[in-house]
Amino acid sequence: MEKPDRGMVRLSAEECKGCGLCVEACPPKVLRLADGLNRSGYHPVCYLNRGCTGCGICFYACPEPGAIVVLRVAA
């Protein structure tokens, strides 16, 4: 069985303005901008659903206060 990821992100597609700073910042490169548009007309960020390390870097790169929530495996 595959080892579970250390981290996970919850992304708010409606809060996202599609700036792409988190995509650029993410060390394991597990974020990308979606093909579709959100209500504001931006391509919002989405998670590739695997590979997150829970480092939290995307959280600090993101200018929106609540667009990204980062979780980590409980110790």
Is 68 an interacting residue with respect to another protein (CB under 8 A)? yes
Count, residues near another protein per rule CB under 8 A: 34
CA distance 63 to 11: 13
User: Judged by CB, which is closer to another protein: 35, or 60?
Assistant: 60
C-beta of residue 35 within 8 angstroms of C-beta of residue 45:
no
Q: Which of 29, 48, 50, 63 binds another protein (CB under 8 A)?
A: 63
Q: Which of 29, 37, 40, 48 binds another protein (CB under 8 A)?
A: 40
CB of 50 to another protein, least distance (A): 13
C-beta of residue 9 within 8 angstroms of C-beta of residue 70:
yes
Cα torsion angle, 51, 14, 69, 61, sign: positive
